[in-house]
Structure 1
Amino acid sequence: MIVGLIIACEAGFWVLLAAGLAFRYALRMPRTGLALLLCEPLLEAVLFTVTAIDLRNGAEPDWRHGLAAVYIGFTVGLGHSTIAWADARVAHRFAGGPPPVRPPRYGTARAVHEWKVAARWVLASVVALALLQGAVWYVGDQGDVSSLRSWQLRMVWLIGINLVIAVSYTLFPKRAPEGEGAGKPVDAESGSGRSSRR
């Protein structure tokens, strides 16, 4: 049931995003569009509630409960940037908005961009870690929490990977080829593959 609910939440995220942008730009109803986008956190609230009830009713904690915590964490850390990314592109395509700003490619500007991307992934991982730890405390000594601990270890690894990437761009910045500029200004809401929602 929990896995199905996670899939439903993910589908619901994209449906609400598409509907919100459609109302905002195609139908010229920005308030309705904003209201739909603001409904996004309700999906995670439902998932959190159902997962907590499942554990309270005596379900053995397993990978599905851990996945629910990780999904919520990733939505908290990456959901806003995903919405902003899509909004900028739809506004440009259908509402005459400015072209989306590409992330810088070289030098200090690229390093700053990578730290901002890393910060979003670290936030997602920290929220997931906190929810997982809350589940561990909630279950207490009455159940096997090894699957929750394994998810926590994955989140620690994810934090480490993102920090290593950001540090590498700081210590070894990419240099622009001769005759090419240092890149465009940093756009915190657009980015490399790591800045996507998943």
Structure 2
Amino acid sequence: MNLVAWAIVTCEVLFWVVILAGFTARYIFKRPTLGLIFLAMTPVLDILLLLISGVDLARGATATTAHALAAVYISVSLVFGKSMIAWADERFRYYVTKQGTKPAKRYGMDHAKHYFKGWVKHLLSFVLAAGILYGLILWIDDAARTEALLSILTVWSVVVGIDLIITVTYFIWPRQAKGSS
């Protein structure tokens, strides 16, 4: 596994470590400022990953799937980061500290609308990653060195399309609570 692949794995692990550290500081140790400092470190991880990937490519490396996934990771983190932290915060408060209300499950049109909002975020993260990847392709200006970047975009465009189909099905056949008909 190359440096960029290890950086992605490390940044993903550190993302959840700093989030858990932030929640632990906030709720267990009653240190909200320290918790905020930990949570504010998540964008720093994205910048670090961007620098590692950019330096590797600037030194002449052939773009790999890992480089493409770095762009995907960054775009997903930017678009979904706040909602992922809120999701984890709600569960941490309820399941770990026994505070707050139990996270609600969504059904019917509420679930469909929520899933649609998630699909819009998915599309936005795809567009952002596509911009980063096309920027890298133009910057490197060597089709042989950037083939992996374009192939990830192709695969991801299919995934976004499949996710749209799934989203539409929730409006046609809304998700039902277990035991209801």
Distance 1:48 1:83 in 2: 21
Q: Helix, strand or coil for the counterpart of 2:141? A: helix
Conserved 8 A contact 2:137-2:143? no
Give the TM-score normalised by structure 1.
Answer: 0.81
Residues 34-76 of structure 1: CA distance to partner in whole angstroms, max 9, x if unpaired? Answer: 1110110100101101111111111112222112111212222
Residues 55-99 of structure 1: CA distance to partner in whole angstroms, max 9, x if unpaired? Answer: 111111222211211121222233222211111012123152122
Distance 2:46 2:123 in 1: 19
Q: Hey, what does 2:157 align to over in structure 1?
A: 156
Q: Helix, strand or coil for the counterpart of 2:30? A: coil
Residues 97-140 of structure 1: CA distance to partner in whole angstroms, max 9, x if unpaired? Answer: 1222222x22x222212202212222222222121111111111
Q: Hey, what does 1:189 align to over in structure 2?
A: none
Is 1:98 aligned to residue 109 of structure 2?
no
Is 1:135 aligned to residue 142 of structure 2?
no
Q: Helix, strand or coil for the counterpart of 1:145? A: helix
Is 1:147 aligned to residue 148 of structure 2?
yes
Amino acid across the alignment from 2:14: G
Q: 1:65 aligns with which of 61, 64, 67?
A: 67
Distance 1:167 1:155 in 2: 18
Q: Hey, what does 1:5 align to over in structure 2?
A: 7
Between the two proteins, the alignment pairs up a number of residues equal to 178
Amino acid across the alignment from 1:135: L
Q: Helix, strand or coil for the counterpart of 2:63? A: coil
RMSD, aligned CA: 2.1
Q: Hey, what does 2:58 align to over in structure 1?
A: 56
Percent identity between the two aligned chains: 32
Q: 2:77 aligns with which of 75, 82, 87?
A: 75
Distance 2:19 2:117 in 1: 23
Name stretches of at least 5 consecutive residues in structure 1 with no aligned partner. Answer: 182-198
RCO (CA 8 Å, sep 6+): is it higher in 1 or 2? 1
Residues 153-181 of structure 1: CA distance to partner in whole angstroms, max 9, x if unpaired? Answer: 12211211111111122234356799x59
Conserved 8 A contact 1:92-1:98? yes
Name stretches of at least 5 consecutive residues in structure 2 with no aligned partner. Answer: none
Q: Hey, what does 1:114 align to over in structure 2?
A: 115
Conserved 8 A contact 1:22-1:33? yes
Amino acid across the alignment from 1:141: D
Distance 1:118 1:160 in 2: 10
